[in-house]
Amino acid sequence: MPKPIHSYIWRYALILVAVGLALLPVAWMATMAFKPHTEWATSAADLHWWPHEETWANFEFIFTGQTDAVNITHERTAGKPILASLVTALLGTLIAVVAGTFGAYAVSRFKVGANLPIGVLQLRLFPPMAVMIPVMIMWVFIGAMDTWWGLSLIYGIVTLPFAFWLMKTFFDEVPREIEEAALVEGCSWFRVFWKVTLPMVKAAIASTALFVFILNWSDYVIALLLTRKDWVTIPVYMNSLSNVMSGQMYGAKAALGLIAALPPVVFGIAIQKYLVRGLTFGALKQ
């Protein structure tokens, strides 16, 4: 049935408005990152969107701690926090995906560990703030406070639910005839898992890993509670920038924000197909 032309016009108009609103804050930060500090605009009169003189000075400042344009220096550069974010998010992802994949396969195939599905789900529903006291006591006790492994470990645990449920939906979809054929041939269960099933879900594991990485990379609360100085991650470092300086470092923080925002956006678009599944713990599929 052909639709009247005006319905298309309305739809595109509304979509363009929505897209514009979605992009507006990002656009302001992205352009701010390239504005020299004279254009950071503290008065409403000379507010403008596109930088008059595009510059890399903001990026230079956050990485080296100084730049010609700004006469402040900063001894703590963004290098270490970026490294900390990368290391802890990657290791956390590794822990979550390995534990989640094994656990999900066992629950999917052998129906063991009946407490796992709900157990890991509960883990997600609790506000981290409400359960962090014992974790902080524990972390001090075992010397994990402000270390790369302490933060990685907790990231691995809090994102385990996502890894577990995503992998479970993928394993549930693998046709069992293939596994059964291999079993009849005389393979052991573990060989079947390792040599037959795992290669089939390679792409799924990659998607799960990217999904979990996004979550770990986005964390702020946990890093705020469990790091002090050496292993602060990007968001914690970013928020501390304004405390150290006199006034707001708009451009520098925008540049850092842009760097922090990029990986999740790129990865998120790459795994678009599985976002619904991941975010609803496999309850919905696209």
Partner 1 sequence: MTDSVVNASPGLSPRPAKSGRKKKPVLTPLEREGKKLGLYMTLPAQLLLLFIVAFPLCMQVYVSLTWWTPLDGTKWYDAYESLNWFGNYGDIFDDSKFWGSLARTFLIVVVVVPAEFMLGLGLAMLFADKFPGKRVFYSIMLMPMMIVPAVAGYMFFMLFQSSGPINDILSAITGTRIDMVWLADRDLAMVSVMIADIWQWTPLMFLILLAGMVGVPEDQMKAATLLGANAWHRFWRIVLPRMKTVMIIALVIRTVECFKIFDILYVMTGGGPGVATKSISVYILDLTFKDLEWSYVAAIGLFILFFLSLIALVGIYYMQAAQKKAEA
Tell me how far, at minimum, the Cβ of 274 lies from partner 1, in Å: 11
Closest CA to 192 of 282, 116, 114, 106: 106
Of residues 50, 172, 203, 230, which one binds partner 1 by CB under 8 A?
172
Tell me how far, at minimum, the Cβ of 53 lies from partner 1, in Å: 19
DSSP string, 85-136: HHHHHHHHHHHHHHHHHHHHHHHHHH---THHHHHHHHHHHS-HHHHHHHHH
Of residues 9, 54, 64, 131, which one binds partner 1 by CB under 8 A?
131
Q: Considering the rule CB under 8 A, would residue 103 count as an interface residue with partner 1?
A: yes
Q: Considering the rule CB under 8 A, would residue 189 count as an interface residue with partner 1?
A: yes
Contact 280, 211 (CB under 8 A): no
Of residues 107, 151, 201, 255, which one binds partner 1 by CB under 8 A?
107
Task: Please say which residue, 68 or 260, places its beta carbon nearer to partner 1.
Answer: 260
- Using CB atoms within 10 Å of the CB of residue 261, give its burial: 0 to 12 exposed, 13 to 18 middle, 19+ buried: middle
Task: Please say which residue, 8 or 56, places its beta carbon nearer to partner 1.
Answer: 8
Q: Considering the rule CB under 8 A, would residue 73 count as an interface residue with partner 1?
A: no
**139: which 2 tokens?**
């972390």
Of residues 49, 50, 56, 149, which one binds partner 1 by CB under 8 A?
49
User: To 10 degrees, the CA torsion angle through 256, 258, 263, 268?
Assistant: 140
Cα gap 171→267, rounded to integer Å: 22
Residue list 223-262, contact with partner 1 (CB under 8 A): 224-225, 234-235, 238-239, 250, 253-254, 257, 260-261
Of residues 9, 11, 195, 244, which one binds partner 1 by CB under 8 A?
11
Cα gap 60→257, rounded to integer Å: 14
Task: Please say which residue, 205 or 254, places its beta carbon nearer to partner 1.
Answer: 254
